[in-house]
Amino acid sequence: MSESARSVSEGQQRYSPAEIEPKWQARWDADESLYAAEGHDSGKPKFYCLEMLPYPSGQLHMGHVRNYAIGDALARFMWMRGYNVLHPMGWDAFGLPAENAALKNNTPPREWTLANIAAMRLQMRRMGLSYDWATEVTTCLPEYYRWNQWFFLKMYERGLAYRKKSKVNWCPECQTVLANEQVIDGTCWRHEDTLVEQRDLTQWFLRITKYADELLSGLDKLEGWPEKVRTMQRNWIGRSEGTLVDFAVDGGAEKITVFTTRVDTIFGATSVQLAPEHVVAKNFAASNPVLAGQIEEMLAQQKAAREAGDLGAIEKHGVDTGRFAVNPFNSELVPIWVANYILADYGTGAIMSVPAHDERDFEFAGKYGLGVRRVIVPKAGGTAEEVLPYTADDDAALVDSGEWTGESSVDAQVKMAAFAKANGFGTATVTYRLKDWGVSRQRYWGTPIPMVYCERGHTGVEAGGVVPLPESALPVVLPAQVEITQQGGSPLGRVTDFMNTTCPVCSGPARRETDTMDTFVDSSWYFYRYTDAKNTSAPFDSAKANYWFPIDQYIGGVEHAILHLIYSRFWTKVMRDLGLIKNDEPAARLFTQGMVIKDGAKMSKSKGNVVSPDLMIERYGADATRMYALFAAPPDRDLEWQEEGVAGISRFLAKVYRLTTKYAGAATGEKIESTGDTALLRKLHQTIAKVTQDFSGRWHFNTSIASIMILINEISANELAMDSAEISSAAIREVFRSLVLMLAPFAPFLAAELWELIGGEGAVFRVAWPVADAELAREAEMEIAVQSNGKLVTVVKVPAGSDEATTKAAALADAKVVARVEGKTVVKVIVVPGKLVNIVVK
RNA sequence: GCCCGGAUGGUGAAAUCGGCAGACACAGCGGACUUAAAAUCCGCAGACCAUAAACGGUCGUGGGGGUUCAAGUCCCCCUCCGGGCACCA
């Protein structure tokens, strides 16, 4: 007789996830309707639960497992609470790794990607994740990316997509352009050791800056988003109110427009500073070889510093051009300098330098002996010689500033801007740090940009000019047979069949745009497609999107706080303005989970501390693996992966299994109420209350699971009482039924198995969530801490609901309290009913 | 430099509204069961002091100060760690 056969014969089958999980997975896989969302007419409130879609690398990692365990627990809970839940999954399937793999393995990117998707979909099914696969979205398929192209054309029509030549970030490793958002500390977001170069290229941009103000003000309303993410986006948008002021160049026709946030200090300006790239600086240099050389040197130094990754470390320096500018407020001549710390791409690339009231200007003036002129003083004690630079603008007033002398700084900022405007030499303005989104990528594995260049040109289009394709020409399909190289621009440029086409307007020869779109375009609107994934005539049906949106809960890593989460907010606003949707923001609530750490560092291949989810599933089962991911730390904090902990959860599940199977027979028992029931039912209802509360509030599933463990410990401690019928079978039935239901969001396989064993009807995660009965949950006795002067003396028991007088009397009657208080004067007694008594003595 | 987080036993953590600090687990130790081990079950477990034992005492939530009958929790100052932004005019 075999080992396992004997244990079965004893009626004590052991918990075996290796048998339970594949069995249920097969049943679930066979039932397409199991996790399908219902229609708008379901009569239930809707709940859109979404986890960020993964890049199909081929392997789920623990970060994914954690992310999906959180989302899955929530989705299942919401089903059980009677919601119509949309819980979809998809693949962010374009991107460079597929091209790298193609180079390495000689596999076409499409094949490699689709194989990875199949592998990861299977892993997700093994995890028991409740996705509606009928709505699956794969961004690298033409059914999806044709709508990227469609949106691109819509944006082009509205001037939101445009082409311009500019300095762009170039990653030599990726051999492509990067958006500003993809440059981290001067390096590529995919290659932290690769410094990004600046190149002059003609590229496609999306006009995200048009929505800068709305993207910023909308953050205030996103109360369901972490403050951290909102702050990061605010900083990224970098709105700054100020004034543009034109300084005429003395002895020249040119003018220099400076941007300042402190126009009230303009009477203190003692120089104008230009970025080395500034056009006026270049013009001066044209007739001044010495200056030209100095500017050249400055640019070279900046380039070197950028390549060393430490732009901030170069010392501020500048050169006097020998020319002067006219301050339009007082007609004073101030010297024009070129300085290395002036940024060409912020504001106008030119500033007025006011050493008395700006830290950097003060430092710079000190170095070169430029004038320092105080024009702002504190309102209170304005005559005091406070230390310069004095940079405050609240409770500050102007001095030596002509007709504005005596004005407050804040008022003067408004009035002087208005004056400049009235006199035609300036205006109030708003500047942003946010730049338009460069979306051209010189890579193969991405969405082709639906534009052609008409070679001969036709009316309104010069030779080689841009012509948008008509919608009927979509999708522009990526050619399949492409030689992938990482040199010499987009691989599409070498596919002549693709390249050579005809102009849709004049039918003359034309060549296609060979750049592809940034993959962040794909992920900017994918969650709308889930609501209508099979639509072949539109990106989605507006009625469907309007029913489901906004996303009720979006869950993902904080690393997307700027990139994906700002692009997708932008896309939502564009789609709203196209009349496709009604919502202003994609997600009402956002949750950013912590990282998964091992041995003190984020899990990564390079650190060699990766723990494979497959291995964990093999050793402990999917239920134990996902439950551990929820138990080891609250979801917003970093989680240290300790395999012993997974083993611990596995032991807990085994205990649940043993006890539930042992008492499964109680389901058919007679219905007698017993006095032994009270304590066990009390613990049950306390547990239901706790777990329910955690779901609706802060998602501290670690404490939910802890409270279920306490319940199991209590059940285990009552085994004798249950065996001897001191506890009724009705109570036993209720306890196990609720226990299994509470387990369903965390350990769905085991819950399904046990639900069947105890005779439950239907799918366990569609059964109504148990409701806590406050009456049953109430303790009969309360433990009251008794303190003397705030120090614990003893704990006394009083009947539940005892009033203040009773509680106080019980505390004062305690022998230890009497001994402590004896011989001292009781100053006062503080009673917190149900909690504590504090006797203050002298 | 600026802006967010965070710091609690050997470890992960709990304490949700200012009210018994360390729930629940991991690792550990002791015991039961076993020829033995695994598994399982029972028990111990913040530090220090005291004690034959029991009862006990003192300290304790990064450091310092404050408010309060009462502080991990509130206020002020500081240290360290993680993250974001940064010559942004």
Q: For position A87, what pLDDT does the model report?
A: 98
Does the residue A232 lie in any domain? no
Which stretches of A578-642 are DSSP H helices? 613-620, 622-631
Q: Residue A505 is encoded by which pair of tokens?
A: 């307007």
Across all strands, nucleotide nearest A705 (CA–C1'):
B24
Our measurement of CA A635 to C1' B64, in angstroms, reads: 33
CATH number for position A825: 3.10.20.590
Which bases in strand B are touched by protein, i.e. have an atom under 7 Å from a CB? 3-5, 11-16, 19-21, 23-27, 39-42, 69-71, 83-89
**Residues contacting residue A279 through CB under 8 Å, at least 6 positions apart:** none
Taking the CA of residue A833 and the C1' sugar atom of nucleotide B66, their distance in angstroms comes to: 29
The pLDDT tens digits for A313-352 are 678 889 999 999 999 999 999 999 999 989 888 889 999 9
How many Å apart are CA A192 and CA A559, to the nearest integer? 14
Is residue A623 within 8 Å of A21, Cβ to Cβ? Answer: yes
Could you tell me the CATH number of the domain that includes residue A731?
Answer: 1.10.730.10
Query: How confident is residue A27, by pLDDT bands cut at 50, 70 and 90?
Result: very high
Supply the ipTM of this predicted assembly: 0.94
Mean pLDDT of A804-813: 88
A716: the nucleotide nearest its CA (via C1') is B41
- Provide the pLDDT confidence category of residue A385 given band limits of 50, 70 and 90: low
What is the spatial distance, in angstroms and rounded to an integer, between the CA atom of A220 and the C1' atom of B75?
27
- State, as a whole number of angstroms, the distance between the CA of A655 and the C1' of B33: 18
**Which pLDDT belongs to residue A1?**
30
Residue predicted with more confidence, A697 or A253 = A253
Clarify whether residues A269 and A402 are in a common domain.
yes
Residue A790, pLDDT above cutoff 90: no
Residue of A388 and A97 predicted with greater confidence: A97
Flag whether A625 is in a domain.
no
How far, in Å, CA of A185 to CA of A587, rounded? 29
Q: Which of A520, A548, A572 is the last residue of a domain?
A: A520
Backbone angles phi, psi at A500, to 5 degrees: -85, 125
Reading the block at residue A627, the tokens are 């439950």
The verdict on residue A498 lying in a domain is yes
Do A21 and A158 belong to one domain? no
State which of A431, A453, A472 marks the end of a domain: A431
A264, A336: one domain: yes
Q: CB-based contacts of A406: which residues, under 8 Å, 6+ apart?
A: A397, A398, A399
CA A759 to C1' B32, in angstroms, rounded, equals: 36
What's the CA A712/C1' B72 distance, rounded, in angstroms?
Answer: 29
Nucleotide nearest to A694 (CA to C1'): B16
Within-domain flag for A609: no
* Alpha carbon distance A494, A297 (integer Å): 39
Torsion angle of C-alpha atoms A527, A531, A532, A533, degrees rounded to 10: 50
Same-domain check for residues A21 and A57: yes
Q: How much of chain A, in percent, has pLDDT values that exceed 70?
A: 95
Burial of A289: CB neighbours in 10 Å, binned 0-12, 13-18, 19+: exposed
Are A246 and A425 in contact by the 8 Å Cβ rule? The answer is: yes
Output the distance from A669 CA to B3 C1' rounded to whole Å.
Answer: 63
Same domain for A102 and A171, yes or no, is no
Domain check: are A470 and A540 in the same one? no
Q: What is the pLDDT of residues A528-562, one digit of tens each?
A: 999 999 999 999 999 999 999 999 999 998 888 88
Q: Which residue is nearest to nucleotide B87 (CA to C1')?
A: A341
- In a shared domain, residues A487 and A581: no
Task: Indicate whether A563 pLDDT > 60.
Answer: yes
Radius of gyration of chain A (CA): 35
Is A562 inside any structural domain? yes
Instruction: State chain A's mean pLDDT as an integer.
Output: 90
pLDDT, tens digit, for every residue of A42-66?
Answer: 999 999 999 999 999 999 999 999 9
Residue type at A705? I
Quote the pLDDT of residue A702: 95
Count of residues for chain A? Answer: 842
Point out the least confidently predicted range of A67-76, A311-320, A658-667.
A311-320
> Which tokens go with A656?
């649940």
Per CA to C1' distance, which residue is closest to B84?
A232
Q: Cα–Cα distances in Å, from A35 out to A28, A50, A133, A762? A: 9, 14, 8, 13
Domain-embedded: residue A631: no
How many domains are there within chain A? Answer: 5
Q: Which two tokens stand for residue A598?
A: 């091992």
Q: Which nucleotide is nearest to A632 (CA to C1')?
A: B12
Binned at pLDDT 50, 70 and 90, residue A3 comes out as very low
Closest nucleotide (C1' vs CA) to A312 is B87
In a domain, residue A420? The reply is yes
Residue A165 and residue A139 in one domain: no
* Domain end residue (candidates: A777, A802, A819): A777
CB A800 within 8 A of CB A779: yes
H/E stretch holding A637: none
Rounded CA separation A648/A651 (Å) = 5
Mean pLDDT, residues A460-482: 93
Same domain, yes or no, for A174 and A62? no
Residue A275 clears pLDDT 50, i.e. is over it: yes
pLDDT at A307: 62
Distance A598 CA to B73 C1' (A): 30
Max mean pLDDT among A440-444, A624-628, A811-815 falls in A624-628
Residue A449 tokens, joined? 């940009």
Q: Are residues A304 and A196 in the same domain?
A: no
pLDDT of residue A467: 97
Q: How far apart are CA A666 and CA A28, in angstroms?
A: 28
Report CA A521 to chain centroid distance, whole Å.
Answer: 16
Residues A296, A441 share a domain: no
Residues spanned by the domain of A197: 146-207+436-520
High-pLDDT (> 90) share of chain A, %: 63
Considering the domain boundaries, does residue A82 fall inside one?
yes
Q: Which nucleotide is nearest to A314 (CA to C1')?
A: B87
- Distance in angstroms: CA A812, C1' B20: 17
Structure-block tokens of residue A626: 């996902």
Which nucleotide has the least CA–C1' distance to A226? B4
Nearest residue to B23 via alpha carbon and C1': A706
Predicted confidence band of residue A800 (pLDDT cuts 50, 70, 90):
confident
Q: Look up residue A269 and give its DSSP letter.
A: -
User: In the predicted model, is pLDDT for residue A814 greater than 80?
Assistant: yes
**What's the CATH code of the domain at A303?**
3.90.740.10
Give A355 CA → B86 C1' in Å: 21
pLDDT given for residue A673 in this prediction = 66
Nearest of A503, A502, A504, A482 to residue A493 by alpha carbon: A482
The whole-number pLDDT of residue A306 equals 66
- The pLDDT value given to residue A625: 96
A184 shares its domain with A260:
no
DSSP string, A399-456: -S-GGGTT-BHHHHHHHHHHHHHHTTSEEEEEE-S---EE-EE--SSSPBP-EEEESS
Nucleotide nearest to A700 (CA to C1'): B16
